[in-house]
Amino acid sequence: MSIGKKSEAVKVVVRCRPLNKKEEAPNQERIVEVDVRLGQVSVRNPKSSGSLLKSFTFDAVYDAGSKQNELYDYACKPLIDSVLLGFNGTIFAYGQTGTGKTYTMEGVPTDPERRGVIPNSFQHIFTRISRSQNQQYLVRVSYIEIYQEEIRDLLCKDNNKKLELKENPEISYVCVINPSRIEWKERCNS
């Protein structure tokens, strides 16, 4: 894994999942190459006769053999530590259906080796809180999904309720409106 700048406000981390059985079929060719050391993912156009690659560089890249805790320790643990100091933090998984977002985020919660970002974050937070003395904490968590331009609260009992997103250009916050609560989130200003 390559280490990017630690002072950046946003880190972009890419994880490439293993090939599935259909992709491993004899007539299928590998078109994605991962260079963990350089933090690069290169994609070859399968319709091109040559080996024309397009490369993209990220703060960190994880290949198909990467472990859940490797990704958590680099990409999430420092963010959780800053959240415990009172800063806001967001972990955002983005990608096409079937690319491994759910596995990376949830994993197998009962298996420490395969536990994902969410259960690792909860364990990290509540372990730190339990060791803390003379300090009070208020823990609030949002778990939302944006799919086909619809926002759903995955912690709501009826997660089929659609949420609205409202922005106020005069302040740097966005509002997620849920029938059960209204939450203001700090918006990233560029």
145 pLDDT tier (thresholds 50, 70, 90): confident
Q: Which of 73, 63, 60 is nearest to 117 (CA)?
A: 73
**How much is the average pLDDT of 91-115?**
91
Binding-site residue positions for ATP: 95-102
pTM listed for this prediction: 0.75
Name residue 55's beta-bridge partners: 42
* pLDDT beyond 90 at 163: no
Give the max Cα distance, the chain: 66
Name residue 42's beta-bridge partners: 33, 55
pLDDT at 154: 81
Which tokens is 46 given? Answer: 């399968």
**How much is the average pLDDT of 46-75?**
89
* pLDDT beyond 80 at 184: no
What residues have CB less than 8 Å from 52, skipping those under 6 apart?
A: 44, 45
Average pLDDT, the chain: 81
Binding-site residue positions: 95-102
What counts of helices (H) and strands (E) characterise the chain? 4, 10
pLDDT at 1: 46
**How much is the average pLDDT of 100-114?**
92
